[in-house]
Each structure stands twice: as structure tokens, then as C-alpha cells.
Amino acid sequence: MGSSRSSILCFLMLCASFLVPTSCHSYSHGALFIFGDSFYDAGNNIYLNTSNTSLAKLSIFPYGETYFKHPTGRVSDGRLIPDFIAEFAKLPLIPPYLQPGNHQFTNGVNFASGGAGALVENNQGPIMGLKTQLRNFKNMEKQLRKKLGASEVKTLLSTAVYMFSIGSNDYLVPFITNSTLLQSYSKKEYVKMVIGNITTVIQEIYKIGGRKFGLSKLIPWGCFPFSRELKLSSTGGSGCMEEFTLLAKLHNRALLEALKELKKSQLKGYTYSIFDAYTVATAIFNNPSKYGFEEVKWHAVAAVH
């Protein structure tokens, strides 16, 4: 098995192992709460504003065709990483928070929204940014307390896993929208703001009861087809947009350090796992045929993730 596949498998197994029951309590079977962007969005966006052209496309093929046999709102033709982790943990697929009629919550909820960023300024259009996702989580927690009682909810939240895939749009959106936000700070200052918003949300969830967190590094966005085409249209040059890749590297280093600092801050019971998506994506770009791809450089990508 290749190193990239091993990395994915290890992350799946580790997150799933977080969900192993620790007692015979009725709600200690584990739950999965998911935050992030389109890498993790299981369909929230299609309930926000289906008149939006980009969102409406999620309701037609090829989305969903390889596994669900119908579009589900996932930006994929099949399952997402949280779907596989739920399967590993023997949980049902975790439903979107906005899905009509979903009021159970005891197996977890997916709050992710395609296009979401950690910074409020980078949330474009009818989407739920990270701050909104946190607010939805708090609202859900209040509903659960009314339904189950404080003791039951404390156990449920403390044994749950909280997954995050967030940050990509904070670096992509300023380039796409010609925003001056990124230029208003040094790269390190800007990354610090993004990471600060992510860790603030983690700390807020910890205060409510969360203890186990799984996060993902950013992929080398500068070499994505979208970035290559953006460079071609703006400068006439070919190849990767190195500024994107540099920001991803800075983000990944800062994220790892921030998670370590939280560990040092004596948050009792706090633990985390981090998925090295950067290394996995780089391996695919460098050797696409090994992973079943014929071309990874020039196919257009129209939507923000």
C-alpha cells in the first residue's frame, strides 16, 4: 500500500477509534460532529438557496452517481471522508444540520458548508461560515439538553469526535474576488488570524464538552487546476501559483503548532489527530496514474471549495 493511502487509512482508523465506547452508558457509543467546507459538506448548502447556480448544480449528475445513485448535495460523485469515518465507527451516515426533519443528533451532525471560511470576510454567498457553524452547534446542544438532560448530553459530547476541514477558502477567496484583505497583512499575520479563529472555535466546543478533535492540513492549492488556470489568465504563465502553496504550507505549520499549544495549556482530556492532506494530494499530483487519474493539471474547476 502506498504511503498516501496508508496516511488516509491511519487517519480514518484513528478518528474511528476515538469513537470506541468507554462505558456502558446509553449515549457513550460515540457521535461525530463535522465542521468545514465542501470537503466535508454532506448537503447543507442545497438547503440554503437552491436558486444559486453553483448550489443548484449539486442536485444533478454526476454528483452522487457512484455510490448514492442520486445527488446528495456533496461536492463529490460519492462519499466524503466523514462518511468513511462514520462507516469505520459503525455509525450511520451523519446528516446535514439543515436537512428537514433531522432532530435526533445523538449520532452526530454535519454542520459543514461548501465555500465556508474561518474568517467572516471570506464567506461569500449563501453559505455558513465557521462562526455560523459554531452557533448552530450551540443551538443543537441546547435542544439536546432539553430532550435528554444535562448529564446525558455531557456524556454524549465528551465521547464524540469533532472533525474540521476549514481554511482553504480563506486563502482562495481573496484571489478570486480581488479582495484587498490578504494584502492588508503580512502572510504570517494573515495565517495567524485564520488559525486563531479555528482554535477559538475548538476552545468554545471544549467549554461545552468536546474533547476529541480531528483536523486536516490544507492541500497544495497552488497546483490545483483552478490555480493553474487563474495564473494563466492573470499572468499568461504556466505551472503552479506558488503564493497559494506557500500560504498552505504556512497554514499547516501554524495549525500544528496551535494544536500543540492547546495541548500544553492543560485542557483536561483534550486530544487531537491531524490528517496530512498536503502530502497525500502532492503524491496524487506527482503520480496521478497510480491513483486512477489520467490528468490532474488542466481540467477546469468552477466552484470554490
Look at 269 and 9; give whichever has higher pLDDT. 269
Q: Given this model, what pLDDT does residue 4 score?
A: 52
190 within a domain of the structure (yes/no): yes
Which pTM was predicted? 0.86
CATH number at residue 190: 3.40.50.1110
127 within a domain of the structure (yes/no): yes
Angle between helical axes of 3-18 and 81-88 (0-180°, round to 10): 60
297 within a domain of the structure (yes/no): no
Task: Outline where DSSP puts E strands in the chain.
Answer: 32-36, 108-110, 161-165, 212-216, 271-275
C-alpha cell at 51: 436558486
Q: Given this model, what pLDDT does residue 174 score?
A: 86
Residues of the domain holding 61: 3-291
C-alpha cell at 57: 448544480
- Is pLDDT of 93 > 80? yes
209 within a domain of the structure (yes/no): yes
299 within a domain of the structure (yes/no): no
Please give the Cα distance from 292 to 294 (Å, whole number).
Answer: 7
Q: Given this model, what pLDDT does residue 23 score?
A: 40
120 within a domain of the structure (yes/no): yes
305 within a domain of the structure (yes/no): no
303 within a domain of the structure (yes/no): no
Q: Given this model, what pLDDT does residue 228 score?
A: 65
Of 239, 238, 220, 213, the residue nearest 157 (C-alpha): 213
- Is pLDDT of 35 > 90? yes
- Is pLDDT of 29 > 50? yes
Best-predicted range by mean pLDDT among 3-7, 74-78, 212-216?
212-216
pLDDT tens figures, 116-174: 999 999 887 789 999 999 999 999 999 999 999 999 999 999 999 999 999 999 998 88
Average pLDDT, whole number, for the chain?
A: 83
Total tally of structural domains belonging to the chain: 1
pLDDT tens figures, 195-245: 999 999 999 999 999 999 999 999 988 777 766 666 656 666 656 778 888
